[in-house]
Amino acid sequence: MNDRAPKNHLSRPNGTAPDVVAGVPAGVQEGDAASILAEWPASSADLIYLDPPFNTGRAQTGRAGTYADRWDSPGAYRAALRPVLTEAHRLLKSTGSILLHCDWRTCHYSRLELDVIFGAANFVNHLIWSYGLGGSSPRRFARKHDDILFYGRSESYYFDPPMVPATSARMRGEMKKATDVLQVPAINNMARERTGYPTQKPLALMELLIGACCPEGGQVVDPFCGSGTTLVAARGMGRRAAGIDRNPEAVRIARARLTRTPETGDRADAAPAGAGAKEGAEQRAGAGVSGEPD
Ligand SMILES: C[S@@+](CC[C@H](N)C(=O)[O-])C[C@H]1O[C@@H](n2cnc3c(N)ncnc32)[C@H](O)[C@@H]1O
């Protein structure tokens, strides 16, 4: 897969989906995720992707913004996430699904919380986003992936398996269904999509997830939208996109990205993948663990 497009990649040009549907405002709202979601109607979303702070213990800072990322205890983190997940559950259609992006710090707590709110029987996948770059240490195996927890709203959740290039010699040149390990490079230093907002995720990852979990014309919601990657990907694929972030810097960047045309937008470049620092994965906290590539 890597720098190759998933099956549903860019099936429509940017901005062709309708702007408002059933009370979910298109674009980006500034404010608290749970409070704003609570104002939106039940059973209105096809896919909710959440990429909350990972509780790294320190502020996440990039060229174009910063956000707080510290809770006093795992319990406090879980308590902060709970109302957002509860509203997400209410917002989803019976055919909808949720994707919660996290890492080793909070994945186990978040999964327990999802089991309670969505039901353990609605667990679908524990996806691994393998980005290749990242910290190394003489004291442990290098941490080179994030976790994405996938739950359906019911057993009738929508799923269209993404196709990715086969890697085996036997299937060289052919496509195969993606596994639960998603090999998608982090955003490279030269990529036009890089905004400078900390922990920005790659469009290619979002395109793969949206194509798999949201039908064409469906509603995608991202309550922690940051620089707006999910919304840009969703619009570009003919899905409706609604995002929330409490950080005005994030809202400004995300809105600016959404106003660009296909000619001036994030996908107007063809920068080679895999050549730069990782910014998608959360910066590592702690001695001897680097946020930069090996
Ligand atoms: C990991 S970043 C999201 C990055 C995003 N996926 C991207 O590609 O740019 C998490 C975001 O959550 C936002 N955030 C944290 N707590 C929030 C809350 N209670 N309500 C809304 N946004 C929040 C932060 O401001 C930050 O932009």
Read off the pLDDT of each residue in 91-120 and give the average, rounded to a whole number: 98
- Tell me the pLDDT band of 5, cut-offs 50, 70 and 90: very low
Residue 12 predicted with pLDDT over 60: no
- What is the CA(136)–ligand 1 centre distance, in A? 26
Closest CA to 261 of 235, 240, 239, 242: 235
CA of 27 to the centre of ligand 1 (A): 15
- pLDDT class of 253 with cuts at 50, 70, 90: very high
Predicted local distance difference test score (pLDDT) of residue 132: 81
What local confidence, expressed as pLDDT, does residue 206 receive? Answer: 98
Pick the range with the lowest mean pLDDT from 138-142, 180-184, 264-268, 269-273. Answer: 269-273
In one-letter notation, the amino acid at residue 84 is V
Q: What does pTM read for this prediction?
A: 0.87
Pocket test for ligand 1, best of 245, 252, 283 (most atoms within 8 A of CB): 245
pLDDT band at 59 (very low <50, low <70, confident <90, very high): very high
Compute the distance from residue 225 Cα to the ligand 1 centre, in Å: 5
Give the domain ranges of the chain: 20-268
pLDDT value for 136: 83
Q: How confident is the model at residue 226 (pLDDT cuts 50, 70, 90)?
A: very high
Q: Average the pLDDT over 92-107 and give the result.
A: 98
pLDDT digits (tens, 9 = 90+) for 168-195: 899 999 999 999 999 999 998 889 999 9
State what percent of residues in the chain have pLDDT above 70.
82
Whether the CB-CB separation of 240 and 220 falls below 8 Å is answered with yes
Nearest residue (CA) to ligand 1, atom 26:
226
Bridge partners of residue 219, in order along the sequence = 240
- Cα separations (Å) of 200 from 24, 48, 104, 249, 293? 24, 17, 18, 13, 16
pLDDT for the residue 13: 40
With a Cβ cut-off of 6 Å, ligand 1 is lined by: 32-33, 51-53, 67, 197, 199-201, 224, 226-227, 229, 244-247, 250
Top mean-pLDDT range of 25-34, 181-190, 267-276: 25-34
Is a pLDDT exceeding 50 seen at residue 259? Answer: yes
CA–chain centroid gap for 163, Å, is: 19
Residues 147-171, mean pLDDT to the nearest whole number: 95
pLDDT at residue 291, rounded to an integer = 25
For the domain spanning 20-268, the CATH number is 3.40.50.150
pLDDT at 24: 92
Q: What is each CA distance from 171 to 74, 108, 109, 176, 178, in whole angstroms?
A: 44, 36, 39, 9, 14
pLDDT for the residue 268: 67
Q: Which residue lies with its CA nearest to atom 5 of ligand 1?
A: 226
Dihedrals phi, psi of 247, to nearest 5 degrees: -95, 115
Compute the average pLDDT of residues 12-34.
Answer: 72
260-269's contacts with Cβ under 8 Å and 24+ in sequence apart are: 260/14, 261/14, 261/15, 262/13, 262/14, 262/236, 265/14, 265/232, 265/236, 266/192, 266/193, 266/203, 266/232, 267/10, 267/192, 267/193, 267/203, 267/236, 268/192, 269/191, 269/192, 269/193
Would you place residue 21 in the very low, low, confident or very high pLDDT band (cuts 50, 70, 90)? low
- Asked whether the predicted pLDDT for residue 242 surpasses 80, the reply is yes
Question: How large a percentage of the chain has pLDDT more than 90?
Answer: 76
Rounded distance from Cα 175 to ligand 1 centre (Å): 34
Using CA positions, which residue lies closest to atom 4 of ligand 1?
A: 226
> What's at 245, amino acid-wise?
D
Band of residue 22 on the pLDDT scale cut at 50, 70, 90: low
| Residue 72 alpha carbon to ligand 1 centre in Å | 18
Ligand 1 center–CA 172 separation, angstroms: 39
